[in-house]
Amino acid sequence: MEKRKQALSKILFINLAILGILFVAFVVIGELVLRHFIPSWGHWGLVELTSTPITYEMKPNLEIVREGVEIRTNSDGFRDTDFSGEPKPGQFLIAVLGDSFVFGQGVPQSETFPAVLQKLLNRSQTTETFRVWNLGVSGYNTEQESYLLKSFVLPRKPNWVVVGYNINDLEPIGIDPNAVEKEQYDESPLIDRFKNYFLNDLLITQFVKQRAGNIIRFFYPTWYGSTYIQDTLNQYLSPEGPWGSVSMLLKQMKRDCDKEGVGFTVAVLPAMLDFKNYPFEKAHNVILDFFRDNDIDYIDILPFFKGHNFMNFWVSALDPHPNELAQEIFAKATAAHLDLKIH
């Protein structure tokens, strides 16, 4: 009997060892394959800390490649050509504020929402009548955009301001980790670094989590495997949530533009998630109701995505930021709206 137990234990140990080796092989091979086809994200070296209320900003006159695309910033630190000497006589200047959706994370510079918007507005013009500034900065929220509007945009007297509002733009200002030297993070405890690497840096982990979530949502559409969705909804639906103060900021931004005779429009940009069962629908409606009740001009861009497969609009299989196709939809919806408002 004792020998039988030892034999079974040995077999069990061997099987577990084989499973362990297969698991490690799966992780290593899967990671290598994903890293070959999917550019890694992260914007190390793109931004720097500042003493102003916006906390961090993009470095000026920078040329780097991140997530497989070239990023060029102008002398003011924005992903655009230089602003010096603008606007030109007779030119209609539109300043677009926003976060990574407007910045165009993972998207070529010429295919970003503001760049395509400029092309569309000038399509029927004999000269470049419209100039659209891309003032998007990854990670910015409404508070930072409000400061940028007062300190940078309005003093330059644009004709119109468009704010690309994303569902997470009410989150508090934080220090973009990409603005801190990477070496500082290497000083954290080894177990924390390993945990962070396994959960956040390994592409195979993200790939498995997303695919498992898709399978679960096939049977249970509202499941997202974390509290993020519900936490975000609570921020809009709860009377104590931050939406109250953020909505007042948007209202103040409109007043600031009205005071200067500048047009003001908010483009409500949807998250690139399940457009058949959009998880932020309730929060989305709260935002639109506020704009209607306060006479704030807005564009609801969500309907342009309804019925489509949301993953067709991702930058990559692991990055849900809007790709070139989504950026074009943002631009077309905004161009059609502004064409009616301006003319």
> How does residue 218 score in pLDDT terms, banded at 50, 70 and 90?
low
pLDDT at 184: 47
69 plus 104 within the same structural domain: yes
176 vs 112, residue with greater confidence: 112
- The DSSP code sequence of 43-57 is -TTTEEE-SSTT-EE
CA distance readout (Å), 171 to 110, 141, 217, 236, 246: 29, 7, 26, 11, 9
3-class secondary structure, 32? helix
Q: What is the domain extent for residue 167?
A: 47-175+225-342
By CB atoms closer than 10 A (0-12, 13-18, 19+), residue 80 is buried
Structural domain contains residue 141: yes
**Are the CB atoms for 79 and 67 separated by under 8 Å?**
no
Give CA–CA dist 178/30, Å, rounded: 26
60 plus 20 within the same structural domain: no
73 plus 204 within the same structural domain: no
pLDDT at 285: 97
Name the residue with tokens 């991702």: 314
Q: How many CB atoms lie within 10 A of CB 110?
A: 11
| Both structure tokens of 247 | 């909505």
| Both structure tokens of 139 | 């990670």
pLDDT at 12: 76
By CB atoms closer than 10 A (0-12, 13-18, 19+), residue 272 is buried
Give CA–CA dist 322/272, Å, rounded: 7
198 plus 299 within the same structural domain: no
Give CA–CA dist 139/176, Å, rounded: 7
**Are the CB atoms for 116 and 105 separated by under 8 Å?**
no
Residue pLDDT, tens place only, 281-334: 999 999 999 999 999 999 999 999 998 999 999 998 778 899 999 999 999 999
Q: What one-character DSSP code corresponds to residue 158?
A: -
Question: 3-17, 158-172, 224-238, 313-327 — which is least confidently predicted?
Answer: 3-17
Long-range contacts of 221-228 (CB under 8 A, 24+ apart): 221/274, 221/276, 221/277, 222/277, 222/279, 224/279
Domain of residue 325, CATH code = 3.40.50.1110
Residue pLDDT, tens place only, 20-40: 777 667 666 655 665 555 565
138: Cβ contacts below 8 Å, ≥ 6 apart? 43, 46, 47, 99, 100, 103, 105, 176
pLDDT surpassing 80 at residue 16:
no
302: Cβ contacts below 8 Å, ≥ 6 apart? 268, 270, 275, 278, 284
211 plus 64 within the same structural domain: no
CA distance readout (Å), 212 to 135, 136, 320: 36, 33, 16
Q: What average pLDDT does the chain have?
A: 84
By CB atoms closer than 10 A (0-12, 13-18, 19+), residue 76 is middle
Mean per-residue pLDDT for 145-174? Answer: 94
Amino acid sitting at position 338? L
| Both structure tokens of 245 | 């103060």
Structural domain contains residue 12: yes
81 plus 194 within the same structural domain: no
126 plus 211 within the same structural domain: no
Residue pLDDT, tens place only, 221-240: 555 555 778 888 999 999 88
280 plus 188 within the same structural domain: no
Q: Could you tell me what percentage of the chain is helix, strand and coil, using 3-state DSSP and rounding each to the nearest 5?
A: 50, 15, 35
133 plus 103 within the same structural domain: yes
Structural domain contains residue 33: yes
Share of the chain above pLDDT 90, in %: 55
pLDDT at 183: 45
17 plus 126 within the same structural domain: no
94 plus 160 within the same structural domain: yes
pLDDT surpassing 50 at residue 251:
yes
Structural domain contains residue 42: no
Final residue before a domain boundary, out of 216, 234, 269: 216
Structural domain contains residue 248: yes
The number of folded domains in the chain is: 3
Residue pLDDT, tens place only, 68-102: 899 999 999 999 999 977 777 889 999 999 999 99
Beta bridge mates, 49:
56
Structural domain contains residue 27: yes
152 plus 84 within the same structural domain: yes
List phi, psi (to 5°) of 108: -55, 150
